[in-house]
Amino acid sequence: MRPPIVSLVGAGPGDPELLTVRALRRIEAADVVLADDLIDPRVLALVKGRLLRVGKRGGWPRAPGQQPLAVPQGDAQPPWERPGGGCISTDQHFIHALMIREATAGHRVVRLKGGDPFVFGRGGEEADALREAGLDVEVVSGLTSGIAGPAAVGIPVTDRRASPGVILVTGHPGDGNAEPDWAALARTGLTLVIYMGVARAAHITAQLLTAGLRPDLPAAVVSAAHTARQQHSATTLAGLPDCIRREGLQSPALLVIGDVAAQAAVAAARQAPRQAG
Amino acid sequence: MRPPIVSLVGAGPGDPELLTVRALRRIEAADVVLADDLIDPRVLALVKGRLLRVGKRGGWPRAPGQQPLAVPQGDAQPPWERPGGGCISTDQHFIHALMIREATAGHRVVRLKGGDPFVFGRGGEEADALREAGLDVEVVSGLTSGIAGPAAVGIPVTDRRASPGVILVTGHPGDGNAEPDWAALARTGLTLVIYMGVARAAHITAQLLTAGLRPDLPAAVVSAAHTARQQHSATTLAGLPDCIRREGLQSPALLVIGDVAAQAAVAAARQAPRQAG
């Protein structure tokens, strides 16, 4: 008999047409879906089984219309009190325990994560915890917003005319994430795509300018790409903090820094890219 | 009346279940599909309209079973002979002209590209050429092999326990691509994912070691991810060239360098990740 399987599924950036075919099938077939915050409501509407919202912003650990989720049974010592928990938060351990409980009870479990489960998604930790519990794990990659978000406003993150590559990095260190070495990143000459960077845009911009990036290097901010609230603005590296304040661009948002970011303005001037299916 | 629209569609890494729902719809609805090399035959089998193979390796400019494709009509001066063509190759100009001809003739055109059209796909150039011709462009992002490929063998390209980000870079400069600054990339401390790096693995490894990366830094090679020919091997940075030779790992392949690459060995030791739908 095969061991129970948990699917770590990428929900992509928002629009349900941007789910992969496999992700759609897994979501529709799941007995239980553990969903992060920031999953688009149109994607959540596809869930036919039980939906447990385990995001850290909204309502955790209480599922909508339910009693607070109980600590998994048969666990004399909750996993987050075990030694060696390291940097993994209580919340994260609770999610692991909940997935393991549901899967060992024989349920088809989908762990639904925004974007791609293996890009800033803690998917690696979740896969490890599941394997340690003897469960089988399947990873269903999803479109990461750091690539699909810029594309939504006409920006190719790589372009042989401008940059032989792209850096995807988090602008929100802490909670176990190290601060990126901004000076080292600046010296690569590659396109920089910064996730969760809006709140710290002034700090990041200052670091990159100090490292020698041009103040007039094209930059863009893309907020809530591929959702009903999508917004963007094209500016320069030096103009980034003011642009965010002036335009009221909100998290979740991406900062794109590099010559390719100028394409946002070009695409907008010619036409709005079509998003709707 | 809306102008003709061309969809630049990402075919993802291979397995048709990894197409997005939108990509699948666009492919099925297209009157004509211009497909790159390296598109999985299972994806090409979904095409219901005319299929033109415009890849540079196999059969270009002759479509299967057809006469060689004629230079687009009504173009007194072929676009690739116009001044200012810059680094864009004749082949690339031919593809632009062909898309424009088909779209202006009223056909629904899908330009199908491996992975994501805006990651090492020349999608930026193609979008520009289409807009300059007055056409509307839609970009349908796809899973890029640099993220979905490592995931297929258990590697999360980012993991807060190891790296606050990932660098996607081409290992095959030339044809308009600059050589990446390997020393600068090494200093970032981020996971490195190198596309098209197999042939130059010895050179790249030497550059990264000279820049100070540890010889025993985990590394992995993932070949033809999400296709029937998928193969991978886990090694160290210093062991990369020998590993590629010994295992006979072939292009298209990704090099993954960084602590997260050790997860390939861990995942393999515990179980083979399930790929099949």
pLDDT tier for residue B171 given thresholds of 50, 70 and 90:
very high
Per-window interface: B 200-259 vs A, CB < 8 A: none
Q: Kind of pairing, strands B253-257 and B218-223?
A: antiparallel
Tell me B270's DSSP state: H
Q: Token pair of B255, please?
A: 């090099």
Question: Quick one: pLDDT at residue A173?
Answer: 79
pLDDT tier for residue B269 given thresholds of 50, 70 and 90:
low
User: Which of A13-22, A70-79, A155-164 holds the top average pLDDT?
Assistant: A13-22
Give the whole-angstrom CA distance, residue A99 versus residue A104: 8
Question: What number is the average pLDDT over the span A92-96?
Answer: 91
DSSP codes, A69-95: PPPPTT-SS-GGGSTT-TT--HHHHHH
Query: CA nearest A110: which of A39, A9, A4?
Result: A9
Beta carbons of A34 and A111 less than 8 angstroms apart: yes
Poorest-confidence range of A112-121, B70-79, B133-142, B254-263? B70-79
pLDDT surpasses 60 at B88: no
> From the candidates B9, B166, B187, which should be mutated to test the interface with A, based on the most A CB atoms within 10 A?
B166
Residues in B closer than 8 angstroms to A21, CB to CB, are 16-21, 24
Closest CA–CA distance from residue A62 to any residue of chain B (Å): 26
Q: Counting one residue from A and one from B, how many pairs have CB atoms under 8 Å apart?
A: 231
Query: CA nearest A169: which of B124, B165, B102?
Result: B165
A184 exposed, middle or buried (CB, 10 Å; 0-12, 13-18, 19+)?
Answer: middle
pLDDT tier for residue A2 given thresholds of 50, 70 and 90:
low
Specify the higher pLDDT residue, B75 or A241: A241
Question: What number is the average pLDDT over the span A31-48?
Answer: 95
**Residue given tokens 């020349």 in the structure block:** B122
Q: Token pair of B87, please?
A: 């680094």
- The residue of chain A with its CA nearest to that of B182 is A188
Question: Quick one: pLDDT at residue A5?
Answer: 87
pLDDT surpasses 90 at A37: no
Per-window interface: B 75-94 vs A, CB < 8 A: 86-87
Residues in B closer than 8 angstroms to A167, CB to CB, are 165-168, 188, 190
Provide the percentage of residues in chain B whose pLDDT is more than 90. 72
pLDDT tier for residue B229 given thresholds of 50, 70 and 90:
very high
**Residue given tokens 């909204």 in the structure block:** A58
pLDDT tier for residue B9 given thresholds of 50, 70 and 90:
very high
Q: Tell how many helices (H) and how many strands (E) occur in chain B.
A: 9, 10
Question: Quick one: pLDDT at residue B177?
Answer: 74
Q: Is A56 a catalytic residue?
A: yes
Question: Quick one: pLDDT at residue B260?
Answer: 96
DSSP codes, B120-165: SS-HHHHHHHHHHTT-EEEEE----HHHHHHHHTT--S-BTTTBSE
Provide the percentage of residues in chain B whose pLDDT is more than 70. 82
pLDDT surpasses 90 at A88: no
Beta carbons of B155 and B166 less than 8 angstroms apart: no
pLDDT surpasses 50 at A69: no
Closest CA–CA distance from residue A4 to any residue of chain B (Å): 12
Give the whole-angstrom CA distance, residue B135 versus residue B2: 9
| Helix then strand then coil, % of chain B, to nearest 5 | 30, 20, 45
Domain definitions of chain B by residue range: 5-140, 145-270
Per residue in B108-120, pLDDT (tens digit) is 999 999 999 999 9
pLDDT surpasses 80 at B94: yes
Angle between helices A123-132 and A90-104 (to 10 degrees): 50
pLDDT tier for residue A71 given thresholds of 50, 70 and 90:
very low
Q: Does B43 touch chain A (CB under 8 A)?
A: no
Poorest-confidence range of A74-83, A126-135, B203-212, B234-243? A74-83
- Nearest by CB to residue B17, choosing from A20, A154, A187, is A20
> From the candidates B21, B25, B131, B254, which should be mutated to test the interface with A, based on the most A CB atoms within 10 A?
B21
Cα-Cα-Cα-Cα torsion A83, A89, A91, A92, nearest 10 degrees, comes to -90
Specify the higher pLDDT residue, A276 or A13: A13
Question: Quick one: pLDDT at residue B251?
Answer: 92
Element (H, E) at B41: helix B41-44
Q: Mean of the per-residue pLDDT values for chain A?
A: 86
B140 exposed, middle or buried (CB, 10 Å; 0-12, 13-18, 19+)?
Answer: buried
Q: Mean of the per-residue pLDDT values for chain B?
A: 86
Closest CA–CA distance from residue A75 to any residue of chain B (Å): 24
Residues in A closer than 8 angstroms to B184, CB to CB, are 184, 187-189
Per-window interface: A 114-133 vs B, CB < 8 A: 116-125, 127-128, 131
- Nearest by CB to residue B188, choosing from A16, A185, A274, is A185
Question: What number is the average pLDDT over the span B168-184?
Answer: 87
ipTM of this complex: 0.88
Which one is catalytic: A36, A40, A113, A116?
A36
Q: Is B258 helix (H, G, I), strand (E, B) or coil?
A: coil
pLDDT tier for residue A3 given thresholds of 50, 70 and 90:
low
Chain-centroid distance of CA B91 in Å reads 17
pLDDT tier for residue B2 given thresholds of 50, 70 and 90:
low
Question: Quick one: pLDDT at residue B155?
Answer: 97
pLDDT tier for residue B63 given thresholds of 50, 70 and 90:
very low
Beta strands in A127-230 (DSSP E): 136-140, 165-170, 191-195, 218-223
pLDDT tier for residue A56 given thresholds of 50, 70 and 90:
low
Closest CA–CA distance from residue B66 to any residue of chain A (Å): 32
The verdict on a CB contact (< 8 Å) between B164 and A155 is no
The three-point CA angle A234-A240-A243 to 5° equals 70
pLDDT surpasses 60 at B244: yes
Long-range CB contact pairs, A83-87, < 8 A, 24+: A86/B161, A87/A175, A87/A176, A87/B160, A87/B161
Residues in A closer than 8 angstroms to B274, CB to CB, are 5, 136, 138
The verdict on a CB contact (< 8 Å) between A158 and B19 is no
Q: Which residues contact A182 (CB under 8 A, 6 or more apart)?
A: A204, A207, A208, A211
- Nearest by CB to residue B176, choosing from A161, A185, A273, is A161
Residues in B closer than 8 angstroms to A25, CB to CB, are 17, 277
CATH class of A5-140: alpha beta
Residues in A closer than 8 angstroms to B15, CB to CB, are 22
Beta carbons of A169 and B190 less than 8 angstroms apart: yes
Q: Is A263 helix (H, G, I), strand (E, B) or coil?
A: helix
The set of catalytic residues of B is 36, 56, 196
pLDDT surpasses 90 at B83: no
pLDDT surpasses 50 at A85: no
Bridge partners, residue B257, by sequence: B192, B219
Q: Give me the half-sphere count of Cα atoms (radius 13 Å) on the Cβ side of residue B51.
A: 20
Chain-centroid distance of CA A34 in Å reads 15
Q: Which residues contact A211 (CB under 8 A, 6 or more apart)?
A: A182, A183, A185, A186, A187
Poorest-confidence range of A194-208, B162-176, B215-229? B162-176
Question: What number is the average pLDDT over the span A1-22?
Answer: 91
Question: Quick one: pLDDT at residue A277?
Answer: 37
Domain spanning A145-270, CATH architecture: 2-Layer Sandwich (3.30)
Give the whole-angstrom CA distance, residue A244 versus residue A199: 9
